[in-house]
């Protein structure tokens, strides 16, 4: 070697293995506790590192951190399981902000299969870390097997996307990788922005992809930046009145709309000011003396919904067209309280004010509605509840078909609500189940109700419920979902024998198709010629046989009397209760309930 020439730095052996181990150390140091892995070859360095981290005490290699590992063969199911774990993380003891959960995949179509969960996490503000393995740059664009353009695949649905080059073993690589992971976790949790959501690290690896004999690197904080998190609601300006429109003075007929994720603070605001509380089941606010269960039907009454002049919105309303019509009325002042995120709920484009925090006057109960306002809503809701029960009890006492007695969807939801105690957890699927629950749930002390309402799809609901059950092992967890939702994610039942047991009861309302469309425009009688094939989509699937194939306990129930014993003691492990539900009369049932409620409310309210 020529004098005065600095030799090149020595390269570390097995750079892919070293990088994977450093990344796993960094994840654990930054608060990640759970990782979900789908198998693959290019992601093998991460798989080996995670397997080491998941070993029991005494068997874990020196330098390996402690992580919980969950393995699933399907990437879409893996990602929704991770979302369930994220949702569960905020409801432990003590409550805390959502904890990020990582999902690891190999390259190619495996990455694309994450997209539905990424979109749900994006719109729900959930910290999901996407760790996707990739080929190094020299193999991209060459036709190499399982290689596609993964960079930017999730577009604007992620808070941060980094294409991490394949490591070569340079001395400073580990420091740079730790800094990248720190940035990713900070972006996912919204530490700097107050806008949590999914983050994508696309990780290139070169062969060898399996570890040699080298030990784990010593844990290090070099590059592991500590990012101070901003307060949960951010800096709050001194707001005492809505500021962009003239404040309404005196007692204003006000309701509080609590959408998905509103939290218990919404209930406290309604109770402090004497407002009717129109709370969706997954709001976290449904319960107490101010909650109006039949609110979506009462909004049509001129002395109730027609008299509203102010709406305070917390969370994201997603269930009810009557609520959206209310929020779009020109004679209604809409005040949105949204403490986090870059956006706020205002689908009707009618919000007069968007506040980071409820004003002091509101928190102190100094924005009361007129005398008798809440009493009228309560009286109407009691009459509506009696009318709904009368319709359901009359129908379900003797409804039979060639395949036996069938339960109506609202009656099933009513029983599920009744057996759900305050310490229970209920995951509810989209379409009719969540709307049926919204109509009939009357709780003073509600259970924890969770749902994928970011995009309100049926994707991954079984897997989400499994993730919730794994994240809250000390609570009884049930899920209420429709048959199409169940079939869409039936692979979520698959759990390998080496994976932790899941204690979860799935209650499937099986009406052999999509009855939600019967209550919408496609279900109008004039459109019946194509309805059954392209909207109702009957499937004829044998759910018992499917469950048997997955080794899951199955019970079929055909009447309300059989429901209570099936739901009262779910037992250990994963089980499915299939309830045959009538679909043919769904539209007529909705119309009859609306008519009976309207008549009952007219009779209950003094003229």
- List the alpha helices (DSSP H) in 420-482: 432-440, 461-471
CATH architecture of residue range(s) 15-204: 3-Layer(aba) Sandwich (3.40)
Three-state DSSP class for 128? strand
Contact in structure between 122 and 187 (CB atoms under 8 Å) = no
Could you tell me how far CA 80 lies from the centroid of its own chain?
A: 9
Residue 498, Cβ density class (10 Å: 0-12 exposed, 13-18 middle, ≥19 buried): exposed
Share of the chain above pLDDT 70, in %: 93
How many C-beta neighbours within 10 Å does residue 587 have?
17
Most confident of 34-48, 383-397, 510-524, 527-541: 34-48
Q: Report the pLDDT averaged over residues 143-151.
A: 83
The pair phi, psi for residue 126, each rounded to 5°, is -110, 135
C-alpha distances (whole Å) from 251 to each of 182, 248, 310, 337, 484 are: 50, 8, 10, 20, 47
- List the alpha helices (DSSP H) in 44-112: 44-53, 75-89, 109-112
Cα gap 84→278, rounded to integer Å? 26
- Kindly provide the b/e burial profile for residues 208-242, where b requires at least 16 CB atoms within 10 angstroms of the residue's own CB: ebebeeeebeebeeebbeeeeeeeeebeeeebebb
Fold (CATH) for 254-372: Rossmann fold (3.40.50)
Check for a shared fold between 15-204 and 400-581: yes
Q: Which residues are 310's β-sheet partners? A: 254, 333
Q: Report the pLDDT averaged over residues 513-535.
A: 88
Residue 233 has pLDDT above 50, yes or no: no
- List the alpha helices (DSSP H) in 190-294: 264-273
Most confident of 240-254, 392-406, 418-432, 528-542: 418-432
Three-state DSSP class for 65? coil
Residues in contact with 330: Cβ distance below 8 Å, sequence separation at least 6, in sequence order: 350
Q: Report the pLDDT averaged over residues 38-57.
A: 97
pTM for this prediction: 0.92
> pLDDT (tens digit, 9 = 90+) per residue, 418-449?
999 999 999 999 999 999 999 999 999 999 99
Give the right CATH number for 400-581 from 3.90.1140.10, 3.40.50.970, 3.60.90.10, 3.60.15.10. 3.40.50.970
Residue 94 has pLDDT above 80, yes or no: no
Cα gap 429→407, rounded to integer Å? 18
Contact in structure between 513 and 536 (CB atoms under 8 Å) = yes
Residue 151 has pLDDT above 70, yes or no: yes
Cα gap 161→235, rounded to integer Å? 27
C-alpha distances (whole Å) from 164 to each of 135, 180, 220, 245, 493 are: 11, 9, 20, 48, 34
pLDDT of residue 11: 59
Q: Which one is predicted more confidently, 352 or 2? A: 352
pLDDT of residue 78: 98
Q: Report the pLDDT averaged over residues 392-404.
A: 61
Please choose, from the candidates 404, 451, 402, 492, the residue with its C-alpha nearest in 3D space to the C-alpha of residue 36: 492
Q: Domain ranges in the chain? A: 15-204, 254-372, 400-581
Please choose, from the candidates 432, 476, 478, the residue with its C-alpha nearest in 3D space to the C-alpha of residue 458: 432
**Vertex 114: Cα angle to 109 and 116 (nearest 5):** 120
- For strands 553-557 and 574-580, give the pairing: parallel
Residue 397's pLDDT band (boundaries 50, 70, 90)?
A: low
User: What DSSP line would sit under 342-397, residue for residue?
Assistant: S----TTS-EEEEESS--HHHHTT-SPPPTTHHHHHHHHHHHHHHHHHHHHHHHHT
Residue 167 has pLDDT above 50, yes or no: yes
Quick one: the chain helix, strand, coil %, rounded to 5? Answer: 40, 15, 45
Share of the chain above pLDDT 90, in %: 77
Residue 401 has pLDDT above 50, yes or no: no
Cα gap 265→180, rounded to integer Å? 36
C-alpha distances (whole Å) from 466 to each of 284, 422, 469, 481, 498 are: 20, 20, 5, 13, 16
Q: Report the pLDDT averaged over residues 30-46.
A: 97
- List the alpha helices (DSSP H) in 475-569: 483-488, 528-531, 543-550, 560-568
pLDDT of residue 236: 36
Please choose, from the candidates 176, 179, 199, the residue with its C-alpha nearest in 3D space to the C-alpha of residue 189: 199
């Amino acid at each position: 070697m020529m004098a005065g020439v600095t030799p090149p730095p020595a390269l570390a052996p097995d750079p892919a293995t070293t990088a994977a181990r450093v990344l796993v150390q960094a994840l654990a140091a930054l608060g990640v506790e759970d990782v979900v892995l789908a198998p693959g070859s290019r992601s093998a360095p991460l798989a080996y590192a995670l397997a080491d981290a998941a070993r029991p005490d005494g068997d874990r290699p020196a330098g390996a951190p402690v992580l919980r590992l969950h393995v699933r063969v399907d990437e879409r199911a893996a990602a929704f399981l991770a979302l369930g774990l994220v949702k569960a993380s905020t409801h432990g003891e003590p409550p805390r902000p959502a904890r990020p959960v990582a999902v690891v995949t190999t390259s190619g179509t495996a990455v694309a299969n994450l997209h539905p969960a990424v979109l749900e996490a994006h719109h729900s503000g959930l910290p999901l870390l996407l760790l996707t393995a990739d080929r190094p740059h020299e193999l991209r664009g060459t036709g190499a097997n399982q290689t596609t353009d993964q960079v930017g695949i999730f577009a604007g649905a992620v808070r941060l996307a980094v294409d991490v080059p394949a490591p070569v073993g340079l001395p400073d690589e580990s420091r740079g990788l730790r800094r990248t992971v720190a940035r990713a976790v900070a972006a996912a949790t919204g530490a700097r922005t107050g806008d949590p959501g999914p983050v994508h690290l696309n990780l290139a690896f070169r062969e060898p992809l399996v570890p040699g004999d080298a030990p784990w690197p010593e844990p290090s904080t070099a590059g592991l930046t500590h990012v101070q998190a901003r307060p949960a609601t951010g800096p709050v300006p001194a707001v005492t009145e809505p500021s962009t429109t003239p404040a309404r003075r005196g007692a204003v007929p006000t309701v509080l709309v609590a959408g998905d994720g509103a939290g218990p603070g919404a209930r406290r605001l309604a109770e402090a000011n004497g407002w009717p509380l129109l709370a969706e089941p997954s709001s976290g606010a449904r319960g107490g003396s101010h909650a109006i269960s039949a609110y979506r039907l009462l909004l049509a009454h001129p002395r109730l919904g027609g008299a509203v002049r102010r709406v305070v919105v917390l969370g994201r309303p997603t269930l009810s067209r009557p609520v959206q019509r209310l929020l779009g009325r020109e004679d209604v002042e809409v005040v949105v309280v949204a403490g986090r995120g870059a956006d706020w709920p205002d689908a009707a484009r009618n919000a007069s004010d968007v506040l980071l925090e409820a004003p002091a006057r509101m928190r102190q109960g100094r924005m009361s509605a007129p005398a008798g306002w809440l009493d009228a809503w309560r009286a109407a809701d009691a009459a509506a509840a009696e009318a709904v029960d009368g319709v359901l009890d009359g129908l379900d006492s003797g409804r039979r078909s060639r395949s036996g007695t069938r339960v109506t969807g609202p009656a099933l939801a009513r029983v599920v609500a009744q057996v759900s105690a305050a310490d229970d957890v209920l995951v509810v699927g989209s379409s009719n189940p969540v709307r049926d629950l919204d109509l009939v749930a009357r709780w003073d002390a509600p259970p924890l109700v969770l749902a994928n309402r970011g995009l309100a799809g049926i994707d991954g609901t079984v897997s989400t419920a499994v993730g919730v059950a794994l994240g809250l092992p000390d609570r009884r967890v049930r899920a209420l979902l429709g048959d199409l939702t169940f079939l869409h994610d039936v692979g979520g039942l698959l759990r390998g024998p080496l994976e932790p047991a899941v204690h979860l009861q799935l209650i499937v309302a099986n009406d052999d198709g999509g009855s939600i469309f019967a209550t919408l425009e496609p279900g109008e009688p004039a459109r019946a010629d194509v309805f059954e094939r392209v909207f109702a989509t009957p499937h004829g699937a044998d759910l018992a046989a499917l469950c048997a194939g997955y080794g899951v306990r199955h019970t079929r129930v055909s009447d309300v009397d059989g429901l209570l014993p099936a739901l009262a003691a779910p037992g250990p492990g994963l089980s499915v209760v299939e309830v045959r539900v009538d679909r043919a009369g769904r539209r007529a049932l909705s119309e009859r309930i609306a008519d009976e409620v309207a008549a009952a409310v007219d009779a209950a309210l003094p003229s």
